[in-house]
Amino acid sequence: MKVSKKKVILAYSGGLDTSVIIPWLKENYDLEVIACCIDVGQGDETNIVKEKAIKSGASKVYVEDVKKEFVENYIFPTLKAGAVYEGKYLLGTSFARPLIAKKLVEAAEKEGAEYIAHGCTGKGNDQVRFELSIKSMRPDIKIIAPWRIWDIKSREDAIDYAEKRGIPVPVTKAKPYSMDRNLWHLSHEGGDLEDTWNEHPADMYLMTTPPEKAPDKPSYVEIGFKKGIPVSINGVFYDPVALLEKLNKIGGENGIGISDMVENRLVGMKSRGVYETPGGTLLYTAHKELEYLTLDRNTMQFKDMAAQKYAQLVYDGLWFTPLKEALDAFVDSTQECVTGVVKLKLYKGLCSSVGSKSPYSLYNKDFATFGEDEVYNQKDSEGFINLFGLPLTVRALMNKKNMEEMLEASSKKAI
């Protein structure tokens, strides 16, 4: 009687790392490898991934389209929170990982697999994001991370390994960028980007027109929101996936959303990445502008502080945690009145708000006008300033009294 091999679910993208992992797992662990490709908007990559995985040695391939779930349950909550990591990174890779991990666990349960494998390096953040997410759901599943244990030490070694086994990979030694693409963004790392003095080449862009080649006339786009969630473009309502695809096209054509940054990785080192987030940049800009119109001062200031913590949690792989759930509840409560329309002006990589309106606007021109009005008694401000400045007044009087006493004491000594 033939004994069935134990199974491993591999997070498979069809890229360099996961392409070589399939034969490596079979050679070193004697496991049945089941590739699992989760479609979060990689584009055409998933069309050929199944055939490629089988040719590389996988016994079975799951290809699951989760773009709608990705947008509604991962992108939109982060957008509503206003979470931006270190002021520049819109978390495109970070919030895709917990969803992929969730689907890997589901596949493992369906197949009765004891292992989950991933292609993350031992220097990166994604290993943490995957494994913490898996532990939060199935702490009993064993994890195999080849980059932490195999003899392959570089992308060049991985390319050689693949070539010897006839495995085609979408990377060459001449242009060894590591790229991660989904519906929200495209990231580029490695290669000549590792020298922070090098200007990144514009020909690397896949989602964005180089700003200098964007149209010479500005474009305008109106984005409508309901309770913090984007729902329309120029008055036309879209489903979440179609909306983001449309905004990616509009933003990309105008050179919007390119970010070149050196960031602090969770594992302790700094790294450089170039991110393309055209539609996401439009959404963040418009959403923030609508909050300026609809949130009171204290709520906005506290939410800005919470957004930094939210961004760190997402970046660090702590999506499925009690604090993240609590922050989501807080954020949702702040978004009840974040409904309205924002008009953006796009020009050669620049994105700015030029108009906003909301039925819940806290802006009242009758109070704010510099012209004559009948609703605001300007004399009232005198009493407000006196009360607001009372601590300053008391401190100044105290200092004056102390100074007078010092001068008086000094005079008596002189006599």
SS3 letters across 227-249: CCEEEEECCEECCHHHHHHHHHH
Q: What contacts 159, CB < 8 A, 6 or more positions away?
A: 16, 169, 171, 172, 173, 176
Using alpha carbons only, give the angle 153, 185, 260 rounded to the nearest 5 degrees.
70
Cβ–Cβ under 8 Å, residues 272 and 190? no
For residue 10, give the 3-state DSSP assignment.
strand
Say whether 356 is catalytic: no
| Residue 251 in tokens | 């933003």
Binding site for ATP: what residues are annotated?
A: 11-19, 119
Query: Would you kindly state where each structural domain of the chain is located, as residue ranges?
Result: 7-66+91-174, 186-295+337-363, 380-414
Among 158, 176, 172, 223, which Cα is nearest to 22's? 158
* Whether residue 216 lies in the annotated active site: no
140 within 8 A of 113, measured Cβ to Cβ = no
Given the residues 39, 97, 259, 356, the one annotated as active site: 97
Q: Annotated catalytic residue: which of 39, 56, 133, 178?
A: 178
pLDDT at 30: 93
Contact 259, 88 (CB under 8 A): yes
Task: Look up 30 and say whether it is catalytic.
Answer: no
The annotated binding site for L-aspartate is made up of 121, 125-126
> CA-to-CA distance for 290 and 329, rounded, in angstroms?
20
pTM of the model: 0.91
Q: What is the DSSP string of 117-174?
A: E----TTSSHHHHHHHHHHHH-TTSEEE-GGGTSS--SHHHHHHHHHHTT---S-BTT
Q: What are the mean pLDDT values of the chain's consecutive 10-residue runs (415 residues total)?
A: 81 87 94 96 78 90 96 98 98 98 98 96 94 98 96 85 80 67 95 95 96 98 98 98 98 98 95 97 98 98 98 98 98 98 98 98 77 73 91 93 88 74
Q: State the Cα–Cα distance between residues 216 and 339, nearest whole angstrom.
A: 32
So what's the pLDDT on residue 368? 61
Q: Does the annotation count 59 as an active-site position?
A: no
Residue by residue, DSSP assigns 346-405 as EETTEEEEEEEE-TT----HHHH-SS--SS--TTHHHHHHHHHTHHHHHHHHHHHHHHHH
Rounded CA-CA distance 281/269 in Å is: 26
Task: Give the model's pLDDT for residue 1.
Answer: 46
Catalytic residue selected from 17, 39, 56, 133: 17
| Residue 175 CB partners (closer than 8 Å, separation 6+) | 191
CATH 3.90.1260.10 for the 186-295+337-363 domain, yes or no: yes
Radius of gyration of the chain (CA): 27
Q: What is the pLDDT of residue 294?
A: 98
- The answer regarding whether domain 7-66+91-174 maps to CATH 3.40.50.620 reads yes
